[in-house]
Amino acid sequence: MIGRLNHVAIAVPDLAAAAAHYRDRLGANVSDPAEQPEHGVTTVFVELPNTKIELLEPLGENSPIATFLSRNPDGGIHHLCYEVDDIGDAGRKLAGLGVRILGSGEPRPGAHGKPVLFLHPKDFMGTLIELEEA
């Protein structure tokens, strides 16, 4: 079921500084910031040869990463995103195995417009997992 590692998401307190860090110190290819009001974050993607790094900064009052950043004020790894062929099938299979799916439990459009699901970190060794239909 599991496919490629699509991205590693890192929550950061200062997106411009984080993007400059990757661009200037590591020579990485860094996207422009994109506000995603429906997800409560602004994103910058760092393109690597084999995957992406998604830098996340809170946007708006009820950002889903606000609590994470209050606990990790310097930032930190927020989630891993794995690709799957069929998000509906993956969600049903995992729910049937007792894995908790966050939110409504139904796939919704993610930061790339493709359907995603988030799996409860307590069911995945303390790591928030995003599944994205490839």
* Distance from C-alpha of 95 to C-alpha of 107, rounded to nearest angstrom: 13
Q: Which residues are catalytic?
A: 130
Residues near 134 by beta carbon (within 8 Å), at least 6 away in sequence: 3, 4, 6, 83, 84, 85, 114
Q: Which stretch binds Co ion (CB under 5 A): 42-50, 65-73, 88-96, 126-134?
A: 126-134
Among residues 9, 53, 87, 101, the one that binds Co ion under rule CB under 5 A? 9
Q: Binding residue for Co ion (CB under 5 A) from 12, 81, 117, 131?
A: 81
CA atoms of 16 and 3, how far apart (whole Å): 31
- CA-nearest of 77, 133, 74, 79 to 107 is 133
Query: Given the rule CB under 5 A, which of 6-14, 39-47, 63-71, 85-93 is the region that contacts Co ion?
Result: 6-14
Q: What is the chain's length?
A: 134
CB of 6 to Co ion, least distance (A): 8
Q: What are phi and psi of 11, to 5 degrees?
A: -80, 135
Q: Which of 30, 42, 59, 130 binds Co ion (CB under 5 A)?
A: 130
Count the residues of the shown chain that bind Co ion, applying the rule CB under 5 A: 3
- Shortest distance (Å) from residue 78 CB to Co ion: 8
Binding footprint of Co ion on the chain (CB under 5 A): 9, 81, 130
